[in-house]
Amino acid sequence: MQTLRDLELLLASRTPLVIVESLEEKRITQLFPVLGLRLRVPVFQWTVTDGLRRLEIDFGPKGLHPDPTDALRHIRSEAEPAIYLLLDFHPYLSNPLHIRLIKEIAQNYDEIPKTLVFLSFELAIPSEIRHLTARFIVRLPGRNEIKRIIKEEAEAWQLRASRPVKADPKAVEALATHLLGVTTSDTRRLIRNAIADDGAIRQDDLPRVMQAKYELISRGGIISFEYDTAKFSDVAGLNRMKEWLEHRRSRFHDQDSTLDQPRGIMLLGVQGAGKSLAAKAVAGSLQLPLLRLDFGTLYNKYIGESEKNLRHALSITETMSPCVLWIDEIEKGISVNGSDDGVSQRILGTLLTWMAEHNTGVFVVATANDIQRLPPELIRKGRLDEIFFVDLPGNGQRREIFSIHLRRRNQAPGGFDLDTLAQISDGFTGAEIEQAIVSALYRSQSDETGLTTEHLIEELERTSPLSVVMAERISELREWAAGRTVPAD
């Protein structure tokens, strides 16, 4: 296993403190008896419930020193090299005495090489010992390993049910691809559930597996899966952007193409003009899953943790590739005002490095309302392919927007004077037109009449659109975009 080999190399590199953050405790702990035999050193495991016990050989005293202070004092006093696997030690890392004991053990490594491995779901390393640590990243299973797990689970089911699993080869291949980005334990569980109901792996199992997978991915809150990727027919206008994407769509599904992989686009424009809907529509057009990165959940009070959260999110995204990564209102996450002790700068640096170096099939769609808050290095060519400006909809687009939103609410567009509505709504965004329709429907319901053109006109006339309320800012944004961006329509 690659994880076993990687961990063996790290432990052999003479690093005194190793940090492993993972929810797969059972999977990781099962590796350490093998590691002890390979490295020819004893391995001990500590838990607050059972204390210290030998792992790779079943002999000797068990259950010693369940108190964390006693355990660290005992480890410090030992005269022989060893590996100590400390489970869920994170609550005790805030104790100055524990930090001092850990530091003394680590600093004495050259005389007596004792390695402390901290395994928890989350670990914040105190700054006093950070320079003595190395962080081990648990790899998510690749496609070949997932296929091996499918085989193992099918054989286990066959032993229980006394009959073989009926497996569609194409469904097995698709399942191995769809389960990329999921931990080993969750992969086993999803495969087991797919087989359990009918003893088969077929195409109709895939939607349920994908639904469960996306729920797992969204569980952490940093990366979420967007289910309602709009069809491009649901987005009015944006014809230039649609054409630009259409020229590149085949590249995501042709792995042998000699063309450069498209990297992403920036959607800049007036608030409410449809940038978020356009981002969803990009995924629908490219026929790729859409992942949304929430900058608000990245930030952590501990130094370095926010960048680690971002790297983890980007790692999940790469494993899901080919896919579309939507970063909504990106300027709010990487503001360069310097008021957050440099966290935004470090987040920006991590993101820029990834955008410039990644060679996976991840297509970035970043949306922004305020270009002035974005650093120039983010929007240069090479990190993103193009910047599209999403302006207020024109007359024809507004007519189409009315038609789309009326149909969504079971109203026949042919029963309304769309030309008049498009003229009266000059300066309105798509979101404002939609809200006018919603308000008009409530008014018609209270009047106990059907929705009419007059209801819509009344709502439009009593609304002050954003283009009027914030005319100066929108004018400034348009002036900046002229000549610097490509009109989306």
Q: Are residues 319 and 445 in the same domain?
A: no
Strands 51-54 and 43-47: antiparallel
Q: Are residues 416 and 433 in the same domain?
A: yes
Distance CA 188, CA 185 (A): 5
Q: Which residue has the higher pLDDT, 48 or 236?
A: 48
Q: Are residues 179 and 323 in the same domain?
A: no
Flag the least confident range among 6-15, 164-173, 175-184: 175-184
Give percent of the chain with pLDDT exceeding 70: 91
Q: Are residues 258 and 377 in the same domain?
A: yes
Position 116 in a domain = yes
Per-residue pLDDT band at 24 (split at 50, 70, 90) = confident
* Residue 198 confidence (pLDDT): 83
Q: Quick count: other Cβ atoms within 10 Å of Cβ 430?
A: 27
In tens, the pLDDT along 91-150 reads: 999 999 999 999 999 999 999 999 999 999 888 888 899 999 999 988 778 888 889 999
Which residues are 47's β-sheet partners?
51
Position 37 in a domain = yes
Distance CA 180, CA 150 (A): 13
Q: Are residues 331 and 369 in the same domain?
A: yes
* Residue 256 confidence (pLDDT): 61
Alpha helices in 46-118 (DSSP H): 68-77, 96-107
Boundary of a domain, candidates 363, 390, 417:
390
In tens, the pLDDT along 239-284 reads: 888 888 888 887 776 666 677 788 889 888 877 777 888 888 888 8
Position 488 in a domain = no
CB 284 within 8 A of CB 231: yes
Alpha helices in 197-341 (DSSP H): 206-218, 239-246, 275-286, 305-320
CA distances (Å), 309 to each of 221, 298, 335, 358, 411, in order? 11, 6, 18, 17, 45
Q: Are residues 434 and 409 in the same domain?
A: yes
Distance CA 218, CA 229 (A): 16
CB 460 within 8 A of CB 402: no
Position 169 in a domain = yes
In tens, the pLDDT along 359-405 reads: 778 899 988 877 777 777 777 777 788 888 888 888 888 898 899 89
Give percent of the chain with pLDDT exceeding 90: 28
Q: Quick count: other Cβ atoms within 10 Å of Cβ 124?
A: 16
Q: Are residues 89 and 165 in the same domain?
A: no
Q: Which residue has the higher pLDDT, 13 or 225?
A: 13
Position 481 in a domain = no
Which residues make Cβ contacts (< 8 Å) with residue 215, sequence separation at least 6?
225
* Residue 144 confidence (pLDDT): 86
Mean pLDDT of 46-74: 84
In tens, the pLDDT along 143-170 reads: 888 899 999 999 999 888 888 888 888 8
Position 476 in a domain = no
Find the CATH number of the domain harbouring 431: 1.10.8.60
Per-residue pLDDT band at 219 (split at 50, 70, 90) = low
Tokens of 115: 């390695």
Q: Are residues 238 and 333 in the same domain?
A: yes
In the predicted structure, residue 302 carries a pLDDT above the cut 70 = no
Which residues are 447's β-sheet partners?
none
Q: Residue with structure tokens 């009918």?
A: 198
Q: Are residues 211 and 260 in the same domain?
A: no
Q: Cα-flanking dihedrals φ and ψ of residue 6, to 5°?
A: -65, -40
Can you tell me whether residue 478 is helix, strand or coil?
Answer: helix
Q: Are residues 246 and 382 in the same domain?
A: yes
Mean pLDDT taken over the chain: 84
> What's the 3-state SS for 394-410?
CHHHHHHHHHHHHHHCC
In tens, the pLDDT along 314-338 reads: 887 887 777 889 988 887 777 655 5
In the predicted structure, residue 204 carries a pLDDT above the cut 60 = yes
Distance CA 468, CA 269 (A): 16
Sign for the pseudo-dihedral over CA of 363, 369, 371, 374: negative
Boundary of a domain, candidates 153, 187, 219:
219
Q: Which domain holds residue 131?
A: 2-136
Per-residue pLDDT band at 303 (split at 50, 70, 90) = very low
Q: Which residue has the higher pLDDT, 181 or 411?
A: 411
What order of strands is seen across the sheet that includes strand 362-368? 223-225, 290-293, 323-327, 362-368, 264-269, 386-390, 486-487
Q: Which residue has the higher pLDDT, 182 or 455?
A: 455
Per-residue pLDDT band at 301 (split at 50, 70, 90) = very low
Boundary of a domain, candidates 113, 136, 159:
136
CB 388 within 8 A of CB 488: yes
Which residues make Cβ contacts (< 8 Å) with residue 137, sequence separation at least 6?
315
Q: Are residues 247 and 384 in the same domain?
A: yes
Q: Which residue has the higher pLDDT, 249 or 342?
A: 249
In the predicted structure, residue 304 carries a pLDDT above the cut 60 = no
Burial class from Cβ neighbours inside 10 Å (0-12, 13-18, 19+) for residue 414 reads exposed
Find the CATH number of the domain harbouring 100: 3.40.50.300
How many residues in total does the chain contain?
489
Q: Are residues 315 and 461 in the same domain?
A: no
- Structurally, the chain folds into a number of domains equal to 4
CB 363 within 8 A of CB 325: yes
Residue 446: in which H helix or E strand, if any? helix 430-446
CA distances (Å), 366 to each of 242, 291, 392, in order? 16, 12, 19
Find the CATH number of the domain harbouring 207: 1.10.8
pTM above 0.75, yes or no: no
What letter would DSSP give residue 128? T
